[in-house]
């Protein structure tokens, strides 16, 4: 019996360790966003990319941020699983698709937040607003591909057979395919995808792997977002990076603009603080941050863009309703059918 | 009467532990059938589902076969070969346990980009998993009584035939129990197959969450993995056969350890062939990362904090797993009948699930029935315990199998109850096995990522979350210090594990 008591004591000690390690409860002030409010943000954007931005928000407003980081899709799955019991106030997502997937759980944003951004970069339902834009480009290895194509139909040329890298399970790629369906219709999209599959594109796990494979010469071209290259240059220095970005011809669907965006959960316990957070994401402080740290395009009207990037209006991105980009299920079925999602 | 009551307690606890490990099934079944039976059937009845099953099984099968061969050879080198430097080799051979599969996969790709695909996934997983076979086999080898081999030799058997006819049959149970863990791990791994772009079940399950926003599909496919785990667990029960050595009370005679020249050459060559890919490639790569330039400066205090947190999480997980695993393993070894075996078998069936599925399951259950603990430390530990229970149960099971039941019978005859016998007699004798299981669980917990990421208290950073964070932005210069810290943190339990695995009945 003495030994059993020892076991129970050990169990109790374990529980104590657990309690000591857990963080304190956030405040539950629902009416005002005061200095002792703690806002819970689920961030699909990497901690290293946004933690300083969150810190700037705290120093500007006095509102602390409890941020939970993870992959945007996994965060959407987390929110769907939690439902209305979620502790989250704000979902800050890397892509529109993940926001669209949880639209039922979000509340409508005020007109003032929505009017700061071109309507085509926010939800038609008004439940989330675009913050930054990521342009789809062809990243290319200049040695292997001195004249890279600037239209998606150019990618079908047999000279690129087996030389194009893409990330089949990546949300940005699937958003592009969704845009293709919307702009060319189901039959047109299937036709392009079938021809693309015939050109034996090489599958990678994520965009950074595509970019690295292009840089190392494993493939000649890669379908990624514009900032992956700038990120590699920042990490390794311009001399260490061979690859270059090819922006697509005006209006070509290959130059789709994907957005990162944010929405407020309808179950949010700190709705006022959450609104202040959305306002902050549209402020000049945030714009300056994105310009210099993530090299994305800033979607807030009139914002200046990062140095060295082609002007946002010159890009003439294909016109598409980003809310249509949530029909990923249908996109995946089509990708399966043409053999581009699974082998 | 007293006997029956004494037995009920450990068996009851064993059932509680196995039910905890089955918590993910609650979520999987609810989610899979959330849209009714027909969508579930439609999702499964596809040509591609069948081809995924084949691909996953081919990978798991070949990784298991390779791990058995490598693991058994490594076990022989560190025990029976008799060469010098066995302690060093034991620790070196155990070190892959400290390296996450996604890190070694990245290392391989950085070094040899063309390795991607099946061969890359097979290579990374085989060299990551063989210690799960090596450890139990080495433990058995170090207890083998050389008298059997001597008898065979006097009867004119060649060394080759002695190995196959005398030694291997005695290793059967250790090999099959290690092989089961390897097969389940290979089915559940995402890190290696993702980096190697080899499409298997886990790839599609992660895709369903990340790009498809389709948890129902992820759950449906996960149920196939649960079925596969059931089949493998059942197959292992058949393959392990009946234990003939459990009642052996005599200690093994001492073995003459003087390695011949050819044995030494074979051992050292074989060790190099294993260690270069298993630890050489990843470690050289981590060191190369340290030399890269980055715009971020990694603060040493960050590394220190994350190391402390990982150590704390790992030790608490290992302790909690141990408490749950003890009654499971003890009942399976000491009690007879299917009811005593069932809890042990049940703990294995969720082991083939990818981490993300276990994490989402614990979220689903936690937010409904354990709200105060949601996104707090206890629920994080709960999630990790589910994943590592089979690893601990497996270690404990072989530890109990090797302790003579006669001592416990003596205790009973002196009027000591079953629970007291477990605590006072069985546990102290099985202590090396208990420590080995704890070290193994701790190593696995320190590497674990998906459950930590979703269930950790807000703001908690561990070595694995920091490594993940910097890899997502491809800043490997910043990954380096955290990866190195993970290796160093793991060195202690690895050394303990290595030493324990070759100890013979409590003395080396």
Element (H, E) at A38: strand A38-43
What's the rounded mean pLDDT across residues A89-98? 91
Q: List CB contacts (< 8 A) between A343 and chain B.
A: 51, 199
- The alpha-carbon radius of gyration of chain B (Å, integer) is 23
Q: Which residues contact residue A261 at a Cβ distance below 8 angstroms, ignoring those fewer than 6 apart? A: A92, A93, A96, A99, A121, A122, A123, A128, A129, A130, A131
Q: Please state, for a pLDDT cut of 70, what percent of chain A lies above it.
A: 87
Between A216 and A31, the higher pLDDT residue: A216
Q: Which residues contact residue B503 at a Cβ distance below 8 angstroms, ignoring those fewer than 6 apart? A: B142, B432
What's the rounded mean pLDDT across residues A213-228? 94
CA distance A90 to A100: 14
CA distance A151 to B361: 43
Q: List CB contacts (< 8 A) between B360 and chain A.
A: 77-78, 81
Residue B429's pLDDT is what?
A: 79
Residue B501's pLDDT is what?
A: 66
Q: Does residue B247 have a pLDDT over 80? A: no
Residue pair B445/B388 in contact by the 8 Å Cβ criterion: yes
The lowest-confidence range among A28-42, A219-233, B313-327 is A28-42
DSSP for A64-82, written as a single string:
EEEEEE--HHHHHHHHHHH
Q: Among A71, A85, A342, select the one facing B210 at the smallest CB separation.
A: A71
Nearest to B277 by CA among B63, B126, B485, B77: B126
The most confident of A17-21, A98-102, B59-63, by mean pLDDT: B59-63
What's the rounded mean pLDDT across residues B322-337? 88
pLDDT tens-place string over residues B86-109? 888 988 998 898 888 888 888 887
CA distance B301 to A22: 21
* b/e code B391-421 from CB counts within 10 Å (16+ = b): bbbbbbbbbbbbbbbeebeebbeeebbbbbb
Strand partners, B507: B504
Nearest to A26 by CA among B465, B213, B376: B376
Q: Please state, for a pLDDT cut of 90, what percent of chain B lies above it.
A: 39
Q: How far is CA B380 from CA A204, B225, B373, B387, B488, in A?
A: 31, 23, 9, 11, 24
CA distance A34 to A130: 26
CA distance B225 to B151: 46
The most confident of A41-55, A226-240, A327-341, B460-474, by mean pLDDT: A41-55
Best mutation target among A40, A77, A218 (most B Cβ atoms within 10 Å) is: A77
Residue pair A261/A51 in contact by the 8 Å Cβ criterion: no
Q: List CB contacts (< 8 A) between A70 and chain B.
A: 453-454
Residue pair A209/A228 in contact by the 8 Å Cβ criterion: no
CA distance B476 to B438: 31
ipTM: 0.87
Strand partners, A68: A42
Residue A59's pLDDT is what?
A: 95
The lowest-confidence range among A203-217, B97-111, B275-289, B407-421 is B407-421
Q: Does residue A20 have a pLDDT over 80? A: no
CA distance A154 to A142: 16
Q: Does residue A31 have a pLDDT over 60? A: no
Q: List CB contacts (< 8 A) between A172 and chain B.
A: none
CA-nearest residue to B191 within chain A is A205
What's the rounded mean pLDDT across residues B53-60? 93
CA distance A105 to B470: 30
Q: How far is B489 from chain A (nearest CA, A)?
A: 20
- The alpha-carbon radius of gyration of chain A (Å, integer) is 22
Is B292 within 8 Å of chain A by CB?
Answer: yes
For the record, the structure tokens of B336 come out as 């007879």
Largest CA distance in chain A: 81
The lowest-confidence range among A74-88, B7-21, B221-235 is B7-21
Average pLDDT taken over every residue of chain B: 85
Residue B507's pLDDT is what?
A: 38
What's the rounded mean pLDDT across residues A215-219? 93
Residue pair B487/B391 in contact by the 8 Å Cβ criterion: no
DSSP for B86-150, written as a single string:
HHHHHHHHHGGGGS-HHHHHHHHHHH-GGGTTHHHHHHHHHHHHTHHHHHHHHHHHTT--HHHHH
Q: Among B367, B376, B424, select the one facing A3 at the smallest CB separation.
A: B424
Q: How far is A301 from chain B (nearest CA, A)?
A: 28
What's the rounded mean pLDDT across residues B164-192? 89
DSSP for B217-228, written as a single string:
HHHHHHHHHHHH
pLDDT tens-place string over residues B353-363? 999 999 999 99
Is B316 within 8 Å of chain A by CB?
Answer: yes
Is A170 within 8 Å of chain B by CB?
Answer: yes
Residue B470's pLDDT is what?
A: 86
The lowest-confidence range among A289-303, A321-335, B278-292 is A321-335
Q: How far is CA B288 from CA A145, B111, B131, in A?
A: 29, 11, 26
Q: Among B48, B52, B363, select the one facing A82 at the smallest CB separation.
A: B363
Please report the residues numbered 80 through 119 in chain A whose beta carbons come closer than 8 angstroms to any beta carbon of chain B: 80-83, 85-87, 97-98, 101
Q: Does residue B343 have a pLDDT over 50? A: yes
Is B387 within 8 Å of chain A by CB?
Answer: no
Q: How far is B242 from chain A (nearest CA, A)?
A: 33
Q: How many CA atoms lie within 13 A of A239 on its CB side?
A: 1
Strand partners, A233: none
Q: Does residue B251 have a pLDDT over 60? A: no
**3-class secondary-structure state, position B22:** coil
What's the rounded mean pLDDT across residues A285-308? 89
Residue given tokens 């097969």 in the structure block: B183
Residue A93's pLDDT is what?
A: 94
Is A292 within 8 Å of chain B by CB?
Answer: no
Q: Does residue A14 have a pLDDT over 50? A: no
Please report the residues numbered 31 through 90 in chain A whose beta carbons come closer than 8 angstroms to any beta carbon of chain B: 40, 46-49, 66-74, 76-78, 80-83, 85-87
Instruction: Please state the pTM of the whole predicted model.
Output: 0.84
Interchain proximity A237–B293, CB inside 8 Å = yes
Q: List CB contacts (< 8 A) between A87 and chain B.
A: 374-375
Q: Please state, for a pLDDT cut of 90, what percent of chain A lies above it.
A: 58
Residue pair B399/B177 in contact by the 8 Å Cβ criterion: no
Residue B253's pLDDT is what?
A: 64
Q: How far is B374 from chain A (nearest CA, A)?
A: 9
Residue A29's pLDDT is what?
A: 42
For the record, the structure tokens of B301 come out as 């205090």
Q: Confidence band (pLDDT; 50, 70, 90) for A23? A: very low
The lowest-confidence range among A113-117, A312-316, B295-299 is B295-299
For the record, the structure tokens of B247 come out as 């009642």
Residue pair A323/A151 in contact by the 8 Å Cβ criterion: no
What's the rounded mean pLDDT across residues B167-171? 85
Interchain proximity B360–A78, CB inside 8 Å = yes
Q: Which residues contact residue A61 at a Cβ distance below 8 angstroms, ignoring those fewer than 6 apart? A: A33, A273, A276, A280
Between B195 and B66, the higher pLDDT residue: B66
**Strand A221-225 with A164-166, pairing:** parallel
Residue A219's pLDDT is what?
A: 95
pLDDT tens-place string over residues A147-184? 999 999 999 999 999 999 998 877 788 889 989 999 99
For the record, the structure tokens of A165 come out as 């890298």
Residue B168's pLDDT is what?
A: 84
Residue pair B192/B125 in contact by the 8 Å Cβ criterion: yes
Q: Does residue A245 have a pLDDT over 80? A: yes
DSSP for A221-281, written as a single string:
EEEEETHHHHHHHHHH-GGG---EEEPPPTT-GGG-EEEEEEEEBTT-S-HHHHHHHHHHH
Q: How far is CA A55 from CA A59, A102, A130, B221, B466, in A?
A: 6, 26, 21, 40, 18
Q: List CB contacts (< 8 A) between A237 and chain B.
A: 293
CA distance A88 to A98: 15
Backbone φ and ψ of B459, nearest 5°: 90, -5
Q: Confidence band (pLDDT; 50, 70, 90) for A32? A: low
pLDDT tens-place string over residues A49-88? 899 999 999 999 999 999 999 988 889 999 999 999 999 9
Backbone φ and ψ of B304, nearest 5°: -65, -45
Q: How far is A282 from chain B (nearest CA, A)?
A: 24
CA-nearest residue to A40 within chain B is B458
Q: Among A22, A81, A174, select the one facing B363 at the smallest CB separation.
A: A81
Q: Among A86, A101, A212, select the one facing B213 at the smallest CB separation.
A: A101
**Strand A90-93 with A38-43, pairing:** parallel
């Amino acid at each position: 019996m003495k030994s059993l008591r020892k076991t129970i004591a050990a169990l109790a000690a374990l529980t104590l360790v657990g309690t000591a390690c857990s963080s304190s409860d956030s405040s539950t002030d629902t009416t005002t966003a005061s200095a002792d409010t703690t806002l819970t943000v689920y961030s699909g954007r990497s901690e290293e990319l946004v933690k300083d931005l969150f810190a700037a928000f705290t120093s500007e407003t006095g509102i602390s941020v409890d941020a939970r980081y993870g992959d945007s899709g996994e965060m959407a799955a987390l929110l769907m699983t939690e439902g209305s019991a979620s502790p989250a106030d704000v979902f800050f997502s890397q892509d529109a698709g993940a926001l669209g997937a949880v639209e039922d759980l979000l509340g409508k944003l005020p007109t003032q937040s929505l009017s700061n951004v071109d309507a085509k970069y926010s939800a038609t339902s008004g439940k989330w607003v675009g913050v930054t834009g990521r342009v789809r480009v062809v990243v290319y290895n200049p040695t292997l591909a001195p004249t890279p194509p600037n239209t998606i139909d150019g990618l079908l040329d047999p000279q690129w057979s087996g030389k194009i890298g893409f990330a089949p399970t990546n949300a940005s790629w699937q958003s592009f395919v969704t845009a293709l369906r919307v702009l060319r219709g189901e039959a047109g999209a299937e036709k392009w995808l079938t021809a693309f599959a015939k050109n034996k594109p090489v599958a990678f796990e994520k965009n950074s792997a595509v970019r690295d494979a292009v840089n190392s010469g494993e493939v000649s071209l890669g379908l990624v977002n514009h900032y992956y290259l700038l990120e590699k240059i920042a990490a390794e220095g311009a001399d260490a990076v061979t690859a270059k970005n090819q922006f697509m011809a005006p209006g070509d669907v290959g130059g789709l603009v994907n957005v990162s965006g944010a929405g407020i959960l309808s179950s949010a316990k700190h709705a006022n603080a959450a609104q202040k957070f959305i306002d902050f994401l549209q402020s000049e402080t945030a714009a300056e941050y994105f310009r210099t740290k993530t090299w994305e395009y800033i979607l807030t009207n009139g914002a200046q863009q990062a140095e060295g990037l082609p002007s946002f209006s010159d890009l003439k991105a294909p016109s598409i309703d980003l809310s249509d980009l949530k029909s990923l299920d249908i996109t995946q079925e089509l990708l399966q059918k043409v053999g581009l999602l699974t082998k | 009467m007293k006997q029956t009551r004494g037995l009920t307690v450990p068996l009851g606890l064993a059932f509680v532990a196995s039910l905890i490990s089955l918590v993910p099934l609650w979520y999987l079944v609810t989610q899979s059938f959330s849209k009714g039976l027909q969508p579930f059937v439609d999702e499964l009845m596809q040509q591609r589902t069948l081809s995924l099953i084949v691909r996953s099984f081919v990978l798991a099968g070949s990784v298991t076969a390779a791990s058995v061969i490598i693991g058994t050879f490594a076990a022989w080198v560190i025990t029976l070969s008799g060469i010098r430097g066995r302690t060093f080799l034991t620790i070196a051979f155990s070190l892959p346990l400290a390296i996450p599969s996604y890190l070694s996969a990245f290392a391989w790709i950085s070094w040899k980009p063309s390795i991607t695909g099946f061969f890359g996934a097979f290579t990374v997983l085989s060299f990551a998993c063989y210690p799960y076979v090596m450890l139990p086999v080495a433990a058995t080898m170090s207890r083998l009584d050389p008298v059997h081999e001597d008898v065979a030799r006097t009867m004119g058997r060649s060394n080759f035939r002695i190995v196959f006819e005398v030694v291997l049959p005695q290793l059967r149970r250790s090999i099959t129990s290690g092989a089961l863990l390897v097969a389940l791990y290979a089915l559940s791994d995402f890190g290696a197959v993702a980096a190697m772009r080899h499409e298997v079940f886990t790839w599609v399950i992660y895709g369903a969450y990340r790009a498809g926003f389709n948890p129902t599909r992820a759950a449906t496919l996960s149920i196939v993995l649960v079925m596969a785990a059931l089949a493998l667990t059942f197959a292992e029960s058949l393959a392990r056969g009946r234990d003939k050595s459990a009642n052996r009370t005599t200690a093994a005679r001492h073995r003459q350890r003087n390695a011949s020249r050819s044995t030494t050459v074979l051992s050292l060559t074989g060790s190099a062939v294993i260690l270069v890919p298993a630890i050489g490639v990843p470690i050289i790569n981590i060191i190369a990362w340290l030399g890269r330039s980055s715009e971020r400066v990694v603060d040493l205090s960050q590394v220190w904090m994350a190391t402390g947190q990982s150590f704390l999480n790992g030790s608490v997980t290992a302790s909690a797993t141990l408490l749950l695993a003890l009654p499971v393993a003890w009942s399976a070894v000491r009690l007879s009948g299917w009811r005593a075996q069932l809890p042990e078998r049940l703990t294995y069936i969720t082991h083939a699930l990818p981490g993300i599925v276990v994490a989402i399951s614990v979220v689903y259950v936690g937010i409904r029935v354990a709200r105060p603990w949601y996104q707090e430390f206890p629920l994080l530990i709960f999630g990790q315990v589910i994943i590592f229970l089979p690893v601990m149960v497996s270690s404990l099971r072989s530890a109990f199998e090797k302790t003579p039941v006669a001592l416990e019978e003596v205790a009973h005859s002196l009027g000591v109850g079953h629970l007291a016998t477990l605590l006072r007699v069985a546990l102290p004798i099985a202590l090396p096995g208990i420590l080995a299981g704890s070290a193994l669980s701790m190593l696995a917990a320190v590497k674990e990522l998906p459950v930590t990421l979703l269930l950790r208290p807000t703001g908690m950073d561990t070595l694995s979350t920091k490594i993940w964070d910097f890899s997502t932005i491809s800043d490997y210069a910043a990954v380096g210090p955290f990866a190195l810290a993970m290796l160093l943190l793991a060195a202690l339990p690895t050394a303990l594990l290595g030493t324990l695995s070759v100890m013979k009945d409590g003395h080396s």
